[in-house]
Structure 1
Amino acid sequence: MIKNILNKLPRKQAKLAENRDGGSSNFSSNTSTTSRNSSATGSKSGNSNATVLSGISSSQNSGLNNGNKRHDLWNIKVNANAGPVPFEALPSFKDVPNAEKQNLFIKKLSLCCVVFDFTDPTKNLKEKDIKRQTLVELLDYVTSANGKFNETVVQEIVRMVSVNLFRPLSTQSRENKVVEGFDLEEEEPLMEPSWPHLQIVYEFFLRFVTSAETDAKLAKRYVDHSFVLRLLDLFDSEDHREREYLKTVLHRIYGKFMVHRPFIRKTINNIFFRCIFETEKHNGIAELLEILGSIINGFALPLKEEHKLFLVRALIPLHKPKCIPMYHQQLTYCITQFVEKDCKLADTVIRGLLKYWPITNSSKEVMFLGELEEVLEATQPPEFQRCMVPLFRQIGRSLSSSHFQVAERALFLWNNDHIENMIKQNRKVILPIIFPALEKNARNHWNQAVQSLTLNVRKIFADVDPELFEECLLSFQEDEAQEGETKTKREATWKRLEDIATMKATSNNRTSG
């Protein structure tokens, strides 16, 4: 049975699906950043090399009121003076009567509150194996549960999960790492050494949250805002396996605990603010955007003003950080979801893209052009007309780029039938703006593919409106001639100045001689 359970542990994200939000609560526009409470949950004890957690026992907990139970449940103090840990395997569930299984379950949860040091793979091998087998038994128990979890059990479950998951992230070890000529972004991500235990804890908690035997009204007392906040802090983990589990777990919490939805959105909002305006780096932005994509998809219409503010204040500015390649695909999906929900937002989105348009980063500009095509695909003619002048000024600059991938990607916009039709309908405004770029590309661009695509676009305009095309061509030729005259005059002026300077220098030499 243990082998079967281990084989079933998912290595990828569970499919995000049900319980999407109807947009009932406010997004926060507060720019305060998420508090970081990832302090260590334990310290080394005696010769056991394990972390001993002297939390409140189950029997003691039963006598406390709800408020005290919920207070700092996972901020458990460490018994620094404890001796060696008596760490022994407990009986299997199948070896005890049904009446004793719940008590055994709680004992096993307490046993798994011992956190081992995985930085040294040679330490505590026996104890680590016992804990891992116990975690698998707990997983099996939660999966096959056929009765509601009572308050004591819920409290102990959340306590065990908190003790194991909430820890300093390994990324913090890089903050003071300075190696000359070494690019940390090129380095392989750090993998969590304790993952053999963490994976089972994540799977255990996921099945607890999704279990029909978990009462949301009861569990929300312990899976509270503090718990959710610290769970969201873990999204900065460099281990992609952990972020995949976090994504699935948080989405299930969002679906099951409706009371937490506004807080979750607000906290994600603050994480984005921190990335945009402070750190410009966060490992979990892509996963958080995936969750938001599902949430946005479930927003009720008409969109509330709070959600529109979230788009303007958080999502669009996410185009600013240098690490955008890590999450651009997910960001594009969220942005287009908003435009599809409310086509009037297209103008806002396009102007936002233009605000953050890259000037010297060609690969980033290619990404922006790809996103622009997806947004324009969902844009209707009235919104297109509002922003087409600044938009095609930028597209004209992209068409003129000496980087062939940028120019090529801009020309690909005409391969989209919807975009091409809108351009044709507004050709009298658009063609005069981009005609110089098209003409220069057709004559002088060094890349043959760009020249070929440019000729195709010129032909589209020439076929749909020959008169307008000829007007633009004549205007371009006149501007070109005028520019030539200006250039000739400028060169003549510089030549005269040089001659005057030479004459004065010669005269000064004769005088001094």
Structure 2
Amino acid sequence: MIKNFLNKLPKKQVKSAESRDGGSLALSSNASTTSRINSASGARSGNVNSLENNSTQNSGVNHGNKLHDPLRSKANGSSPPVPYEALPGFRDVPSAEKQNLFIRKLSMCCVVFDFTDPTKHLNEKDVKRQTLVELVDYVSSANGKFSDVVLQEIVRVVSTNLFRTLSTQPRENKVLEGLDVEEEEPLMDPAWPHLQIVYEFLLRFVTSPETDAKLAKRYVDHSFILRLLDLFDSEDPREREYLKTVLHRIYGKFMVHRPFIRKTINNIFYRFIFETEKHNGIAELLEILGSIINGFALPLKEEHKLFLVRALIPLHKPKCIPMYHQQLTYSITQFVEKDCKLADTVIRGLLKYWPITNSSKEVMFLGELEEVLEATQPPEFQRCMVPLFRQIGRCMSSSHFQVG
């Protein structure tokens, strides 16, 4: 069953999605889902492809009377309140009954287990895992538009399993002298054997031609997207990788939500820059934005220029910039390549946040400045060349061999 599941994973990702609002997506490299699963594996968790082996890392289950809760229910550690047994396979029922069976399986997967205890409810967890794999297969091969009832149940399953309180354990962005980020093993979610399949289910649902965006937007609404974006703060890099792909597809399919997605990402950046300076998913969000910026229509809207000035350029301020500098540089150079007149604004912004006492950070700024200058035209260069050369002169007198 698992080999069949992995063999059916899509080999290619859609390269772009055209937009009425002047934005499109074109992720530079979208690996196959199999590669996504493999690369998401952490050394601590082993091979996540072996779903059978990972299915034993778990524990309690929720009472059935909480299944209506769109939030992730709290497990009580006791035995399931009702028999939790596998339902018949889709091949074992007539075609007329498959949709009802699909809804029953969806409802069954709204029971959420606690994975902190590897000894409890092993059979029930394995049954749910197998059922989730069946749901992925069903959505992938669906023939006929999903009805309103089915859409509601699909979103309920996704919400119940994915939308949860992330670990409250603070993750310190340990920055050593010279802004060399100390390597830390990321926190791997023990529930990933199930979460992974739920994310794959959501991805297949969003990309399915049988999902009518006009109807589905009633359930994949602003609240759903907001809570999905909240998950980007997950410490598990495998989850953030899936979220990046899923949000990319939602942005491409649900054009009505594009302004809200951009605005919400802006708000995440504002809070990160001016309040917390702590967020695990800044690099992934910037990677998505780099694709969005790449698809902006010309001339650029004032909204997009304000985003550059108010969010992207101030992202040079936080001390943990090495964690996302590569993605930030790409996004900013995309703006300059789209509109060469923005070069003066970008260069002056870099000079404003130029590091004074940190040579390693200075090296990063010099590298970014070089990329921006390559896309700068003579008129824009002349506007900022005086303060630019003053800064370069200071760099040349630096005692650091890479700066000077």
State whether TM-score is above 0.5: yes
Per-residue deviation at 1:77? 7.3
Per-residue deviation at 1:54? 3.1
**Structure 2 spans left out of the alignment, 5+ residues:** 24-58, 173-179
The one-character-per-residue Cα deviations of 1:151-208 (angstroms, maximum 9, x if unpaired) are 00000000000000001112x12379xxxxxx99653110111111011100111010
Query: Which residue of structure 2 aligns with residue 270 of structure 1?
Result: 267
Query: Which residue of structure 1 aligns with residue 245 of structure 2?
Result: 248
CA contact (8 A) 2:72 2:162 kept: no
CA contact (8 A) 1:22 1:299 kept: no
Give the secondary structure class of the aligned counterpart of 2:165. coil
Q: How does 1:230-309 map to 2 (within 5 A)?
A: 230-309=227-306
Query: Which residue of structure 2 aligns with residue 49 of structure 1?
Result: 60
Q: 1:404 to 1:53 in 2, by over 3 A?
A: farther
CA contact (8 A) 2:67 2:73 kept: no
Q: 1:323 to 1:123 in 2, by over 3 A?
A: same
Distance 1:336 1:184 in 2: 24
Per-residue deviation at 1:119? 1.1
Q: How does 1:414-429 map to 2 (within 5 A)?
A: none
User: Within the alignment, does 1:205 sit opposite 2:202 as a pair?
Assistant: yes
User: Within the alignment, does 1:366 sit opposite 2:366 as a pair?
Assistant: no
Distance 1:226 1:393 in 2: 49
User: Within the alignment, does 1:310 sit opposite 2:310 as a pair?
Assistant: no
Percent identity, please: 81
Query: Which residue of structure 2 aligns with residue 350 of structure 1?
Result: 347
CA contact (8 A) 2:61 2:80 kept: no
CA contact (8 A) 1:22 1:300 kept: no
CA contact (8 A) 1:316 1:349 kept: yes
Q: 1:20 to 1:361 in 2, by over 3 A?
A: farther
Q: 1:143 aligns with which of 122, 140, 144?
A: 140
More helix by share: 1
Give the secondary structure class of the aligned counterpart of 1:247. helix
Per-residue deviation at 1:23? 4.0
**Structure 1 spans left out of the alignment, 5+ residues:** 26-47, 58-72, 177-182, 408-513
Per-residue deviation at 1:14? 6.8
Distance 2:155 2:401 in 1: 55
Query: Which residue of structure 2 aligns with residue 3 of structure 1?
Result: 3
The one-character-per-residue Cα deviations of 1:72-98 (angstroms, maximum 9, x if unpaired) are x72487798997342111111111111
Query: Which residue of structure 2 aligns with residue 464 of structure 1?
Result: none
Query: Which residue of structure 2 aligns with residue 99 of structure 1?
Result: 96
Per-residue deviation at 1:4? 1.7
Q: 1:349 to 1:168 in 2, by over 3 A?
A: same
CA contact (8 A) 1:16 1:248 kept: no
Distance 1:199 1:368 in 2: 37
CA contact (8 A) 2:166 2:231 kept: yes
The one-character-per-residue Cα deviations of 1:215-268 (angstroms, maximum 9, x if unpaired) are 111100000000000000000011111111100100110111111001000000
Q: Which amino acid aligns with 1:315?
A: L
Distance 1:308 1:22 in 2: 18
Q: Which amino acid aligns with 1:129?
A: D
Per-residue deviation at 1:114? 0.8
TM-score by length of 1: 0.67
Q: 1:8 to 1:370 in 2, by over 3 A?
A: farther
Distance 1:220 1:125 in 2: 36
Q: Which amino acid aligns with 1:17?
A: K
Query: Which residue of structure 2 aligns with residue 471 of structure 1?
Result: none
Q: 2:170 aligns with which of 170, 174, 198?
A: 174
Per-residue deviation at 1:300? 1.0
Q: How does 1:82-121 map to 2 (within 5 A)?
A: 84-121=81-118
User: Within the alignment, does 1:129 sit opposite 2:126 as a pair?
Assistant: yes
Q: Which amino acid aligns with 1:90?
A: L
Distance 1:3 1:56 in 2: 31
CA contact (8 A) 2:213 2:253 kept: yes
Tell me the matched-pair count. Answer: 361
CA contact (8 A) 1:276 1:317 kept: yes
The one-character-per-residue Cα deviations of 1:111-166 (angstroms, maximum 9, x if unpaired) are 11111111111221111111000000000000010111000000000000000000
Query: Which residue of structure 1 aligns with residue 220 of structure 2?
Result: 223
User: Within the alignment, does 1:19 sit opposite 2:14 as a pair?
Assistant: no
Distance 1:113 1:341 in 2: 46
Distance 2:236 2:72 in 1: 25
Query: Which residue of structure 2 aligns with residue 485 of structure 1?
Result: none
Q: Which amino acid aligns with 1:173?
A: Q
CA contact (8 A) 2:75 2:113 kept: no
Query: Which residue of structure 1 aligns with residue 337 of structure 2?
Result: 340
Distance 2:353 2:75 in 1: 52
Per-residue deviation at 1:18? 1.8
CA contact (8 A) 1:54 1:76 kept: no
CA contact (8 A) 2:75 2:114 kept: no
CA contact (8 A) 1:16 1:294 kept: no
Q: 1:120 to 1:77 in 2, by over 3 A?
A: closer
Distance 1:49 1:78 in 2: 9
Query: Which residue of structure 1 aligns with residue 380 of structure 2?
Result: 383
Q: 1:385 to 1:243 in 2, by over 3 A?
A: same
CA contact (8 A) 1:53 1:78 kept: no
Q: 1:394 to 1:23 in 2, by over 3 A?
A: farther
Distance 1:326 1:79 in 2: 35
CA contact (8 A) 1:22 1:298 kept: no
TM-score by length of 2: 0.84
Q: 2:155 aligns with which of 158, 169, 186?
A: 158
Q: How does 1:191-202 map to 2 (within 5 A)?
A: 191-202=188-199
Q: CA RMSD of the aligned region, Å?
A: 2.4
Distance 1:267 1:368 in 2: 27
CA contact (8 A) 1:292 1:334 kept: yes
Distance 1:312 1:100 in 2: 56
